[in-house]
Amino acid sequence: MHFVVCETFHGPRPPGHQAAHGNGAPADCRAENLSWKTPHGNQADRLQHGTLGRKLTAEQVSEIRLWQICHNRIARPSRVSAGMISHIRTGRTWLNVPSAC
């Protein structure tokens, strides 16, 4: 569906581009939420939105921001990389999720 909407409102797909969701919500196929992006640009958006290989819940992200243990010790049982834990803690991903109180 997202491909059809993007093509209808934003023209033919440029070579090597994908339909990207601006707000990170794959179910949101409104024209204003879609654009053509390169795979690299789409992946960068997914990293920023926190939707790249989403394996965590918002509650887990909230708790991760509070834990004072090393990234690797959190990453292994959570099935995500230590880099993702770092991005969560520094606010590069999951921007919409507040820290647990």
Among 28-32, 60-64, 71-75, 84-88, the range with the most confident prediction by mean pLDDT is 28-32
Report the SS3 class of residue 30. coil
Which are the contacts of 85, defined by CB distance < 8 A and separation ≥ 6? 64, 71, 74, 75, 78
pLDDT one-digit tens code per residue, 34-61: 999 998 888 888 777 767 666 677 777 7
pLDDT one-digit tens code per residue, 74-97: 666 666 778 888 888 888 877 777
DSSP lists the bridge partners of residue 97 as none
Torsion sign (Cα): 23, 28, 33, 34: positive
- Domains of the chain by residue range: 2-49, 58-90
Instruction: Quote the tokens at residue 91.
Output: 């606010």
> Quick check: 20 pLDDT over 80?
yes
pLDDT given at position 35: 94
Q: How far apart are CA 53 and CA 71, in angstroms?
A: 18
pLDDT given at position 77: 65
Instruction: Quote the tokens at residue 98.
Output: 């507040």
Distance of CA 41 to the CA centre of its chain: 12
pLDDT given at position 8: 94
pLDDT given at position 54: 64
- pTM beyond 0.85: the answer is no
Q: What is the helix (H) or strand (E) element at residue 39, kind and residue range?
A: helix 39-49
